[in-house]
Amino acid sequence: MSKTTTVLTVSDLHRNTALLAALREAVVQHKPDVVALVGDFLHGFDDNKGRVTAEECANQLSTLPAEEIVIVRGNHEDDAWLKFVEAWKKSGRPLQALHGEVFVHGPMTLVGFPCLMGDETAFLGDRAPLPIESDEWLPEVILPAGRAARTLWLSRRQTPSAQPSMCELWGLARSWISSRRFPS
Q: Please, what's the b/e burial string for 80-112 (b: 16 or more CB within 10 A of its CB; e: otherwise)?
A: bbebbbebbeeeeeeebbbbbbbbebeebbbbb
Q: Is 142 exposed, middle or buried (0-12, 13-18, 19+ CB in 10 A)?
A: buried
Higher-scoring residue by pLDDT: 176, 95? 95
C-alpha 169/C-alpha 171 separation (Å) is 5
Higher-scoring residue by pLDDT: 98, 35? 35
Query: What pLDDT, in 10s, does the model give residues 140-166?
Result: 887 777 766 665 454 544 444 444 444
Domains of the chain: which residue ranges?
A: 7-178
Using pLDDT thresholds of 50, 70 and 90, give the confidence band for residue 2.
Answer: low
Of the CATH numbers 3.30.160, 3.40.1130, 3.60.21, 1.10.357, which one belongs to the domain with range 7-178? 3.60.21
Identify any residues that bridge with 152 across adjacent strands, giving them in sequence order.
109
DSSP designation for 67? S
Query: What pLDDT, in 10s, does the model give residues 71-106?
Result: 988 777 777 888 999 999 999 999 998 888 888 888
